[in-house]
């Protein structure tokens, strides 16, 4: 006897088994990629993975994809700000008296140590004035001492003793003032650094307050950045960043040290300062881009 088959029932069972296989595959996708792929009977949708909480900002210097503990950190957002390198110590050396410049031993680009002489002046006239003032003070001292002795014998009036004492005080003060001025006959370097620009020249007559040279410190470099004021919700002293230098193509690490005191109301920006760790050739005046890493804690910024 030839068997007969209910082809309609067999086809229905195949459809059920096929649907079960599809459901199992969907379940497998959900288990393998939690929070990444979700399925429904109608369509599939891709959800953003939870952002990483922390990452070294240096990994963003090259702009390449990176991983944290073997997991891509594409969810960590990198934000940038333009900045300029500057010296932490800067000064304009100026004369505090009118005098002939006898020596400016350093030129632009030369280095110096703290305490080294940067400029010297002809103070021969001032030194002569000091000797005269000191001699006058000595004379007034003898007059006062004599009047004090005479006063013991009631041979002089009290007023004369007081006047001689006042004259002595004035003479001594004049001598001290001139002596303080002679201390400006040479200007010593306030820190280790380099000469940026020499403005005056030897044998020039420098006026009081006239700039002689501009100097800057060595080894202590800062970066001044212009950032959006909205960053104040997460940017704070100690926040790390990677600074890419335009001139050399190199990257150095840094961290924020100071936040500006005021926000520009027009551009909605803020000036901030960061300290950088010098590696290779880094000079004040170089510009570049600071790259910050924003993680899950900064999503609202």
d(CA 155, CA 7): 151
**Torsion angles phi and psi, residue 123, rounded to 5:** -115, 25
What integer pLDDT is reported at residue 294 of this predicted model?
73
In sequence order, the 6+-apart residues with CB closer than 8 A to the CB of 183 are none
Domain boundary assignment for the chain: 7-46, 57-88+220-298, 90-216
Question: What counts of helices (H) and strands (E) characterise the chain?
Answer: 3, 18
Show the low-confidence residues of the chain (pLDDT under 70): 1-76, 295-301
Domain 90-216 coded CATH 3.40.50.720: no
Burial class (CB in 10 A: 0-12, 13-18, 19+), 240: middle
* Six token digits for residue 213: 């040279």
Condensed to tens digits (0 to 9), the pLDDT of residues 126-135 reads: 999 999 999 9
Answer yes or no: same fold for 57-88+220-298 and 90-216. Answer: no
What integer pLDDT is reported at residue 88 of this predicted model?
84
What integer pLDDT is reported at residue 9 of this predicted model?
53
What integer pLDDT is reported at residue 295 of this predicted model?
56
Q: Which CATH architecture has domain 57-88+220-298?
A: Beta Barrel (2.40)
What integer pLDDT is reported at residue 69 of this predicted model?
42
What integer pLDDT is reported at residue 22 of this predicted model?
40
d(CA 29, CA 25): 6
Condensed to tens digits (0 to 9), the pLDDT of residues 196-213 reads: 999 999 999 999 889 999
Q: What are the distances in angstroms from CA 173 to CA 61, 90, 136, 166, 178?
A: 63, 35, 11, 11, 9
* Six token digits for residue 215: 């100097």
What integer pLDDT is reported at residue 1 of this predicted model?
47
């Amino acid at each position: 006897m030839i068997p007969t088959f209910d082809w309609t029932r067999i086809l229905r069972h195949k459809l059920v088994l096929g649907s079960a296989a599809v459901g199992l595959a969907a379940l497998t996708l959900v288990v393998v990629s939690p929070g990444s792929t979700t399925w429904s009977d109608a369509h599939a949708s891709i959800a953003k993975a939870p952002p990483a909480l922390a990452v070294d900002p240096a990994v963003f210097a090259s702009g390449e994809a990176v991983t944290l503990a073997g997991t891509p950190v594409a969810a960590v957002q990198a934000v940038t700000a333009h900045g300029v390198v500057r010296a932490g110590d800067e000064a304009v050396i100026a004369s505090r008296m009118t005098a002939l410049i006898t020596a400016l031993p350093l030129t632009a680009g030369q280095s110096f140590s703290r305490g080294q002489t940067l400029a010297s002046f002809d103070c021969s006239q001032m030194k002569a004035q000091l000797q005269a003032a000191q001699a006058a003070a000595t004379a007034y001292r003898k007059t006062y001492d004599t009047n004090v002795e005479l006063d013991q014998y009631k041979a002089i009036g009290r007023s004369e003793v007081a006047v001689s004492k006042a004259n002595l005080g004035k003479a001594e003060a004049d001598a001290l003032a001139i002596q303080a001025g002679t201390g400006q006959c040479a200007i010593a370097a306030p820190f280790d650094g380099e000469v940026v620009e020499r403005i005056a020249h030897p044998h020039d007559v420098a006026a009081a307050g006239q700039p002689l040279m501009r100097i800057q410190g060595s080894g202590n470099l800062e970066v001044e950045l212009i950032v959006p004021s909205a960053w104040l919700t997460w940017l704070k002293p100690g926040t790390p960043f990677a600074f890419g230098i335009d001139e050399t193509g190199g990257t150095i690490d840094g961290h924020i040290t100071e936040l500006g005191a005021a926000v520009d109301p027009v551009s909605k920006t803020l000036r901030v300062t960061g300290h950088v760790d010098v590696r290779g050739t880094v000079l004040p005046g170089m510009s570049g881009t600071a790259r910050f890493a924003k993680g899950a804690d900064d999503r609202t910024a």
